[in-house]
Amino acid sequence: MSEEDSAPPSIDFNTFVLSLSTSALMCLGEVPCAEDDAAVNLAHAKQSIDCIALLEAKTRGNLTGEEERLIAEVLYDLRLRFVAATKTEGGKP
């Protein structure tokens, strides 16, 4: 294995947002988790969504157009999925 193969991938803003999004999707049971294929944890999903929203607010005016679109689309999608999961679970997180 070469040094390039063992080096972690570089991270940029989009990768970071997508990583947070994946965490939220895992907590919503949308992405299989290593420990439990459908572990739903609405409180942790909400926390991940709130972190992305905080990131959006704190970076407003400092993002490229692509970054603004990505974070807006990710938040929209996650919020819809969260509401649907909340209805399915029959309650609040």
Q: How many CB atoms lie within 10 A of CB 24?
A: 26
pLDDT by residue (tens digit) across 13-33?
A: 999 999 999 999 999 988 876
pLDDT at 7: 77
pTM over 0.95: no
Domain positions in the chain? 12-86
Q: Is the pLDDT of residue 82 over 80?
A: yes
**Quick one: average pLDDT of 24-51?**
85
